[in-house]
Structure 1
Amino acid sequence: MKSAAVVNYAPEKGSVEIREIDKPEIGEEDVLLEVVNVGVCGSDLHQWTADHSWHVNYPVVLGHEFGGHIIALGSRVTGWKEGDRVVSETAAVIDPNSAMTRSGLYNLDPSRKGFGYGVNGAMTKYVRVPARCLHRVPDQLVFEQACLTEPCCVAFNAVVENSRLKPGDRVIVLGPGTIGILCAAMARLCGAEVAIVGLEADKHRLDIAKQYGCETIIGDAMPWATQRDGLGADCIIDAAGASITLKMAMQLVRPKGHIAKVGWGPQPLGFSLDQLVQKNVTLQGSFSHNWPIWERVIALLASGQLDVKPIIGGVWPVTEWHEAFEKMHKGEVVKSVLKPV
Structure 2
Amino acid sequence: MSEMMRGLCLNEDRQLELREFPVPEPKRGYVRVKVKRGGICATDLAYWKFGSDRLGELPVIIGHEGCGVVDKLGEDAEGVKVGDRVVVMTTYKVCGKCRNCAVGNTNVCIERLGIGSKKNGVFAEYVEVPATSCIPMPDSMSFEEGALIEVLACGIHAVRETTTTHADEVVVVCGPGPIGTLAALAAKANNSTVILTGINQDKHRLEIAKTLGIDYCVNQQEEDLKALVMDLTDGYGADVVVEASGAYPSLNTCLDIVKKTGTISQMGVFHGPSPDYLDLGRIQEKEIRIQGTLSQKPTAWRRAVDLVAAGKINIKPLVSDVMKLEDWEEAFNKAANVTGFKVLFDPEMK
Place the TM-score, normalised by the shorter chain, in its bin: over 0.9
User: Following TM superposition, by how much is the alpha carbon of 1:22 offset from its aligned partner in structure 2, in angstroms?
Assistant: 1.1
Return the match for 1:327 from 323, 328, 334: 334
Match runs of 1:309-320 below 5 Å = 309-320=316-327
* Aligned counterparts of 1:121 and 1:340: Cα–Cα separation in 2: 12
Contact 1:11–1:50 (Cα < 8 Å) also in 2: no
Partner residue of 1:226 out of 225, 230, 233:
230
Corresponding residue for residue 8 of structure 2:
6
Aligned partner of 1:307 in structure 2 is: 314
Residue matched to 2:254:
249
Residue 177 of structure 2 corresponds to which residue in structure 1?
A: 177
Shift of the alpha carbon at 1:245? 2.0
Residue 273 of structure 2 is aligned with which of 264, 268, 291? Answer: 268
Partner of 1:89: 89
Q: Any idea what the Cα deviations from partners look like across 1:89-128, whole Å, max 9, x if unmatched?
A: 1111222221211221111112212111110001111111
Map residues 95-174 of structure 1 onto 2, 5 A cutoff: 95-174=95-174
- Deviation of 1:11 after TM superposition, in Å, equals 5.7
Gaps in structure 2 of 5+ consecutive residues: none
Q: CA deviation at 1:180?
A: 0.6
Q: Which string of whole-angstrom CA distances, capped at 9 and with x for unpartnered residues, describes residues 201-241 of structure 1?
A: 11111111112223122224211111131121111100012
Q: Is the 8 A contact 1:188 1:212 kept in 2?
A: no
**Superposition pairs of residues 208-227 of structure 1, within 5 angstroms:** 208-214=208-214, 215-219=216-220, 220-227=224-231
For 2:129, the aligned partner's letter is V
Q: Distance in 2 between matches of 1:282 and 1:43?
A: 25
Percent identical among aligned pairs is: 31
Aligned position for 2:241: 236
Change (3 A) 1:71 1:55: closer
Counterpart CA distance in 1 for 2:212 and 2:185 is 6
Q: Which residue of 2 aligns with 1:279?
A: 286
Q: How many aligned positions are there?
A: 339
CA distance in 1, matches of 2:182, 2:51: 23
**Once the two structures are superposed, what CA deviation does each residue of 1:265-315 show, in whole Å capped at 9, x if it has no partner?**
123223342211111111111111122221111111111111111110011
- Structure 1 unmatched runs, 5+: none
Query: CA–CA distance in 1 between the matches of 2:261 and 2:171?
Result: 14
TM-score (ref. length: structure 1): 0.95
| Kept after mapping to 2: 8 A contact 1:327/1:336 | yes
Deviation at 1:52, TM superposition (A): 4.9
By how many angstroms is 1:199 displaced?
Answer: 1.4
Contact 2:79 2:131 (8 Å CA) reproduced: no
